[in-house]
Amino acid sequence: MLVSALKTVLFSVAATLIAAQQTTTSNTSTPPLISQYGTTFSNAGGKILSGNVNVYVIFYGDWSSDQGQTEQTTFLNFVSGISATSWFKTFEQYNDNNGNKISGPMTLSAAMTDSGSQGLNLTDANVHKQIIIDAVNSGYLSDTNSFDSNGVYVILGGSNVHDSDFCTNNCGYNSYSDEFQYMFIGYPGECPSNCIPPLNTGGSPNVSPSIDAAITIFSHEIQDMLTDPRNNAWIIQQGQTVVELGDFCAGTGVSAEQWFGNVQQVNSKNASYNIEVGNQQFLVQTIFSKDKQQCILSDN
């Protein structure tokens, strides 16, 4: 995918998810990026997030309603439990040049709500970084006011937050500073045709298409962040084209089956899911298995 000078990695579900839904669900053809780069995909020598990875979540904007509180709980439950699944085990295929591998666990370390310290009209990545810096310095995310260089910081925008790139250029992205790596995900309900998977626009496993879509987007971004947090590890760069782990099983030419694997239906909710975490169901993106050269939901 194309990246900007800021080296932010964009994930837009606009059109591509819809295209996947409209194409055959057959898994007979190999996704184009796997055909082109799958056998040569390797670590360029950079850092991965190995061992225990702490996750710090900032719910930005208004999350005060009953629905907002429920959405927070749903998101945090997913983050807390996903590294114990067979889906996460696939990351063990990806190591650094010292033999360290992504084994987890991924631990929810802290979460907080910021009602809008940088305003509700966010303009660029620098503002996103400042939100994280202020949160860490406040002591809400760290007792020592220090950054976690092996952690993941997540900003999840509320329904009243407008971001200049969200809905138009991306549904979420990940990037980094000298001290930390982070992702920003807007509120998918602001542009459902762009940022909510067609599988769950009419309903969703947790009765919130927006938060369920945010989790689907998270499942893409975390693939890139764990394996290539600084754009120098598991990455292919050819000019302005960048391919990271999350790109192999998403986008143009990828069928719905390859993108999401074996999808189950929750008929009472008009919803689709492909993984269970605790007692809840979610829809996640598959992961490219370099060992099997295919998109998989489980490494078992």
pLDDT digits (tens, 9 = 90+) for 93-116: 999 999 999 999 999 999 999 999
236 in a structural domain: yes
14 occurs within a structural domain:
no
The two tokens of residue 26 are 């057959």
User: How many domains does the chain fold into?
Assistant: 1
Q: Could you tell me if residue 11 is inside a domain?
A: no
Instruction: Please compute the mean of the pLDDT values over residues 3-14 and round it to a whole number.
Output: 37
2 part of a folded domain: no
In a domain, 166, yes or no: yes
Residue 13 lies in a domain: no
Predicted local distance difference test score (pLDDT) of residue 9: 36
**pTM for the complete prediction?**
0.92
Give CA–CA dist 142/296, Å, rounded.
36
Q: Quick check: is 31 in a domain?
A: no
Amino acid (1-letter code) at residue 105: P
Q: Which residues pair with 176 in a beta bridge?
A: 181
The answer to whether the CB of 235 falls within 8 A of the CB of 243 is: yes
Who wins on pLDDT, 107 or 4?
A: 107
pLDDT at 24 over 90: no
Find all residues with CB under 8 Å of 78, minimum gap 6, and list them: 215, 218, 277, 280, 282
Burial label for 239, CB within 10 Å (0-12, 13-18, 19+), is: exposed
**Chain centre distance of CA 252:** 18
Averaged over 1-12, what is the pLDDT?
35
pLDDT at residue 12 is higher than 60: no
Q: Burial of 47 by CB count in 10 Å (0-12 exposed, 13-18 middle, 19+ buried)?
A: middle
Domain hosting 247: range is 49-296
> 268 pLDDT exceeds 90?
no
Mean pLDDT on 150-155: 98
Residue 28 confidence (pLDDT): 61
Average pLDDT over residues 107-132: 98
Q: What is the mean pLDDT of residues 48-56?
A: 98
- Residue 33 in domain: no
Residues 218-247, mean pLDDT to the nearest whole number: 96
Share of the chain above pLDDT 90, in %: 86
